[in-house]
Each structure stands twice: as structure tokens, then as C-alpha cells.
């Protein structure tokens, strides 16, 4: 090698080592990632990669998986504590309430013991029921379980989903419905999972809606629109601006990436983390 080549090679190696040693910029949001989007990557490996990127947790894990993130200095940021409750079959029907309460009486203490701050809940589909009746039923069901959540310091998060593209007939398909339910329950441990992908499809006006309702928003999900893919320049949402707006409100919960990556999955995730670091 010539002297010039040796010097160039040394500089390149030094730069690489420095980059590897430099931790990611923390930012003001606590970011995490949804497990189901990376099913082809073993959970341990996903946790390793997430920790290197500066993420703080893994979303949507089953109780048997709660301890895996902790081995990597992370936590499960949203857990499944009541498998009896599904997207089409949820809180809006009174006949489901006994089973949901029974499941939460086991699942919420289990989440609390593992340091899981949030558990997911669903409204269920309309199936001909009016939104008013469904909201009233959901309030009744949540009033039965809110004390369990309060006593254990775990937040029940009702997910807002779109009924236009992905989940036809789902009842909690607008922010106003979820806020109405949360307000009537009136518990600091019953909030909404505001999925930005779904609400962009149904409503748009993301930043203004988030600002207006932040008191009732306990968790966020991301996903590029259209297609629920990478948070890149093929998408219509200004993700950096949305993330900055959430951070400016002093949001203390988790901002979780829930998009199906295209290309190399971890490269896509790392880019999303950088985009939403504010």
C-alpha cells in the first residue's frame, strides 16, 4: 500500500470505530417498536438491534415474552393481557365483559410485575350496533376493570383503528369516539392508543387532533400512509413534525413504530428512529 492509501485506510477505520462508539442521540420521545412487524427476526436479536438504535422497548408482546427485553436493558412497552378480547370482539358488547374482567384480573397484575406500563384493548366491531350504544357499553366494561389498572399502575389503552382500509366495521375508528369513552370512565389508567397510520386514513388533521386530546392519549403507533410501510419520503405524513409536536406537549409515554418494513428491516427501523428523534 502507498502512504496515501495507508492514511486513508486509517482514517476510515477511525471514523467507523468512532461511529460505533457514539450512542444514538436520545431525543425527547421514548421510542419503541412493535414485535409483529419483525416476525422473521428472533426476539432476542430484535431487542439487541433496538437497544443499539436507542429504542427503549418492544411493543405488543405476550406475557411469556415479557422478560426478553429486560435482558437487553429494554422493557415491553405494550402487552397483551386479555387475549379473549380481539379487534372484532371487544368492549362494546356487554356479554364480553365477564371474560374481559376475568382476563384482566390475571393479566394486569402480571404486566405490572414485569414492569409493563400499558396493556391493549379493543372496542370491537359494530355488527349493526350504534356508536352511542357501543360507547355506553364500553364505559360500563371499563368501569369494571379500571380499579384493577389503577391499583397496579398499568394503563389500559383502547386502540383507534381505521375501518376504511384494514379493519372494516371497527367501532373505535375516530378519535372522538375514544375520547368520549375515556372521558366518561374518567380514570388516569384508561387512555387511547392513538395509531397515527389509522387516524391519518380516517381523519387527517393529526397534529391539531393530538394537541386537542393529548390528555387522553396514552400511547402512539406509527406507520407510513399509504401502505403502512417505511417512514420515508414516499409517505404523506411529515413524521418529524408529528413527533416534534408530540414531544412539545411533554408526552411521557411511548412512541412505537408499527410499520411493515420494506427493504432491509433493521435499516428501515433505524431510519424511522432517526426521523422521529426530536
Task: Give the tens place of pLDDT for each residue, 47-69.
Answer: 999 999 999 999 999 999 999 99
Question: What pLDDT is attached to residue 3?
Answer: 35
Confidence check: pLDDT of 216 > 80: yes
How many CA atoms, within 13 angstroms, populate the side-chain half-sphere of residue 136? 5
For 128, the domain range is 28-275
Query: Could you tell me if residue 82 is inside a domain?
Result: yes
Task: Give the tens place of pLDDT for each residue, 107-165.
Answer: 999 999 999 999 999 999 999 999 999 999 999 999 999 999 999 999 999 999 999 99
Give the burial class of 74: count Cβ atoms within 10 A of its Cβ; 0-12 exposed, 13-18 middle, 19 or more buried: buried
Query: Could you tell me if residue 81 is inside a domain?
Result: yes
Pairwise CA distance, residues 230 & 258, whole Å: 10
Helix, strand, coil % in the chain, rounded to nearest 5: 50, 15, 35
Q: Supply the pTM of this predicted model.
A: 0.91
Q: What are phi and psi of 19, to 5 degrees?
A: -65, -40
Pairwise CA distance, residues 268 & 203, whole Å: 26
Query: Could you tell me if residue 178 is inside a domain?
Result: yes
Query: Could you tell me if residue 20 is inside a domain?
Result: no
Alpha helices in the chain (DSSP H): 3-21, 43-53, 67-70, 97-113, 131-152, 175-185, 196-202, 206-213, 239-248, 265-275
Query: Could you tell me if residue 17 is inside a domain?
Result: no
The three grid cell numbers given for residue 116, joined into one nine-digit string: 409493563
Query: Could you tell me if residue 120 is inside a domain?
Result: yes
Query: Could you tell me if residue 2 is inside a domain?
Result: no
The percent of residues above 70 in pLDDT, for the chain, comes to 91
The three grid cell numbers given for residue 21, joined into one nine-digit string: 462508539
Pairwise CA distance, residues 119 & 60, whole Å: 8
Helix 97-113 to helix 131-152 angle (10° resolution) is 30
The percent of residues above 90 in pLDDT, for the chain, comes to 91
Number of structural domains the chain divides into: 1
Confidence check: pLDDT of 257 > 70: yes
Question: What pLDDT is attached to residue 26?
Answer: 77
User: What's the CATH number where 209 sits?
Assistant: 3.20.20.150
Amino acid at each position: 500500500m502507498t502512504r496515501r492509501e495507508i492514511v486513508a485506510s486509517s482514517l476510515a477505520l477511525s471514523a467507523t470505530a468512532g461511529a460505533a462508539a457514539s450512542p444514538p442521540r436520545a431525543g425527547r420521545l421514548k421510542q419503541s417498536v412493535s414485535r409483529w412487524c419483525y416476525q422473521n427476526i428472533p426476539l432476542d436479536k430484535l431487542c439487541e438491534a433496538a437497544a443499539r438504535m436507542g429504542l427503549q422497548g418492544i411493543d405488543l408482546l405476550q406475557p411469556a415474552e415479557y422478560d426478553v427485553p429486560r435482558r437487553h436493558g429494554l422493557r415491553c412497552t405494550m402487552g397483551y393481557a386479555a387475549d379473549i378480547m380481539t379487534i372484532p370482539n371487544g368492549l362494546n358488547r356487554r356479554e364480553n365483559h365477564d371474560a374481559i374482567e376475568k382476563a384482566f384480573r390475571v393479566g394486569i397484575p402480571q404486566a405490572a410485575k414485569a414492569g409493563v406500563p400499558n396493556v391493549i384493548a379493543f372496542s370491537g366491531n359494530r355488527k349493526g350496533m350504534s356508536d352511542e350504544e357501543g360507547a355506553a357499553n364500553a364505559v360500563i366494561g371499563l368501569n369494571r376493570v379500571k380499579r384493577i389498572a389503577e391499583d397496579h399502575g398499568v394503563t389500559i389503552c383502547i386502540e383507534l383503528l381505521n375501518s376504511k382500509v384494514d379493519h372494516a366495521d371497527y367501532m373505535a375508528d375516530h378519535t372522538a369516539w375514544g375520547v368520549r369513552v375515556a372521558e366518561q370512565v374518567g380514570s388516569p389508567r384508561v387512555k387511547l392508543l392513538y395509531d397515527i397510520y389509522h387516524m391519518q386514513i380516517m381523519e387527517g388533521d393529526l397534529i391539531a387532533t393530538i394537541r386537542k386530546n393529548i390528555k387522553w392519549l396514552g400511547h402512539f403507533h406509527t406507520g407510513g400512509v399509504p401502505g403502512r410501510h417505511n417512514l420515508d419520503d414516499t409517505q404523506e405524513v411529515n413524521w418529524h413534525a408529528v413527533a416534534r409536536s408530540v414531544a412539545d406537549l411533554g408526552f411521557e409515554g411511548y412512541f412505537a413504530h408499527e410499520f411493515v418494513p420494506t427493504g432491509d428491516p433493521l435499516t428501515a427501523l433505524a431510519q424511522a428512529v432517526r426521523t422521529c428523534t426530536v
